[in-house]
């Protein structure tokens, strides 16, 4: 039987690739990648020469059966995202479930992901937490924010710089004004930054520092007291 391995890749700092990740990529019969150009850049950096096949949100349903069949034919298949751990707000879940349904061995290597360092650096309790990925863009957005308002555990969200102000304004509308948040930018990169405070304080910071409304961001929200 073949095997599927999900391989986390660096979220900003290329030194964060593990030795095991490099070995698994080298040993793989099939390399699947969210964006082949991004993965080829990483493989070039690691001096690995391999053909890389696209596996992303737009073709994952269509390719599922073919990939599972290929793995069943005894291939070691690895899946990589552009950055971080596959299946965490990235394609991967469907393939994992399909392989498990067929009793194919699945491993996910420990490695980079944005939400763990963000949670830890937020300095909010991390013995219990919830991860909500990206907020819905339209339908269900307010409902989700109201749910988070009631959440007693620390809550972690992914957000894009294009939406951060809009999202913080929505928090301002629904959250108690004392509720604390922390926005972690550019984790593991040169300009890594944590912005802490109440929603209004963080909003004020971004209004006064518009140059910071860019890059990758994670929002961590203190649990309801
Ligand atoms: N699979 C990835 C993981 O394991 O974290 C997440 C992929 S998701 C498409 C991309 C989101 O992750 C970004 O919008 C941002 O919220 C977060 N992210 C990724 N890299 C980051 C970084 N270096 N600093 C802060 N947030 C990051």
Kindly state whether residues 102 and 128 are assigned to the same domain: no
CATH number for the domain harbouring residue 130: 3.30.950.10
Element (H, E) at 193: strand 193-198
What is the reported pTM?
Answer: 0.96
Ligand 1 atom closest to 87 (CA): 1
Query: Is residue 13 in contact with ligand 1, taking CB distance under 6 Å?
Result: no
CA atoms within 13 A on the CB side of 117: 20
Kindly state whether residues 69 and 133 are assigned to the same domain: no
Last residue of one domain, picked from the residues 57, 86, 108: 108
Query: Is residue 113 in contact with ligand 1, taking CB distance under 6 Å?
Result: yes
Q: Are the C-beta atoms of residues 116 and 107 closer than 8 Å to each other? A: no
Kindly state whether residues 155 and 97 are assigned to the same domain: no
Kindly state whether residues 214 and 140 are assigned to the same domain: yes
Q: How many CB atoms lie within 10 A of CB 5?
A: 21
Which residue range(s) make up the domain with 126? Answer: 115-221
Our count of domains for the chain comes to 2
Kindly state whether residues 92 and 120 are assigned to the same domain: no
Query: Is residue 184 in contact with ligand 1, taking CB distance under 6 Å?
Result: yes
Kindly state whether residues 85 and 42 are assigned to the same domain: yes
CA atoms within 13 A on the CB side of 29: 12
CA 133–ligand 1 middle distance (angstroms): 9
Query: Is residue 114 in contact with ligand 1, taking CB distance under 6 Å?
Result: yes
CATH number for the domain harbouring residue 70: 3.40.1010.10
CA 73–ligand 1 middle distance (angstroms): 33
Mutate to test the pocket of ligand 1, among 79, 82, 114, 220 (most ligand atoms within 8 A of CB): 114
CA 103–ligand 1 middle distance (angstroms): 30
Per-residue pLDDT of the chain (225 residues; tens, 9 = 90+): 799 999 999 999 999 999 999 999 999 999 999 999 999 999 999 999 999 999 999 999 999 999 999 999 989 999 999 999 999 999 999 999 999 999 999 999 999 999 999 999 999 999 999 999 999 999 999 999 999 999 999 999 999 999 999 999 999 999 999 999 999 999 999 999 999 999 999 999 999 999 999 999 999 999 999
Kindly state whether residues 59 and 130 are assigned to the same domain: no
Kindly state whether residues 38 and 63 are assigned to the same domain: yes
Per DSSP, the residues of 65-114 read HHHHHHHHTT-EEEEE-SSB-TTSSSTTHHHHHHHHHTT-EEEE-----S
């Amino acid at each position: 039987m073949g095997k599927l391995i999900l391989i986390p890749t660096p979220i900003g700092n290329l030194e964060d690739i593990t030795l095991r990740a490099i070995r698994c990529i080298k040993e793989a019969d099939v390399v699947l990648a969210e964006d082949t150009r991004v993965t080829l850049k990483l493989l070039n950096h690691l001096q690995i020469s391999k053909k890389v096949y696209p596996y992303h949100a737009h073709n994952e349903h269509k390719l599922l059966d073919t990939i599972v069949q290929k793995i069943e034919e005894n291939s070691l298949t690895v899946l990589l995202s552009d950055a971080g751990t596959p299946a965490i707000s990235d394609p991967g879940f469907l393939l994992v479930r399909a392989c498990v349904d067929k009793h194919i061995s699945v491993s996910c290597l420990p490695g980079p992901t944005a939400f763990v360092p963000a949670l830890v650096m937020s300095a909010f309790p991390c013995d219990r937490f919830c991860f909500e990925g990206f907020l819905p863009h339209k339908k269900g957005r307010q409902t989700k924010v109201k749910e988070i308002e009631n959440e007693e555990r620390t809550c972690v969200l992914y957000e894009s710089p294009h939406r951060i102000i809009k999202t913080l304004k929505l928090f301002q509308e629904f959250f108690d004004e004392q509720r604390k948040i922390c926005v972690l930018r550019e984790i593991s990169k040169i300009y890594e930054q944590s912005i802490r405070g109440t929603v209004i304080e963080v909003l004020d910071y971004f209004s006064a520092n518009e140059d910071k409304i860019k890059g990758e961001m994670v929002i961590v929200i203190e649990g309801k007291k």
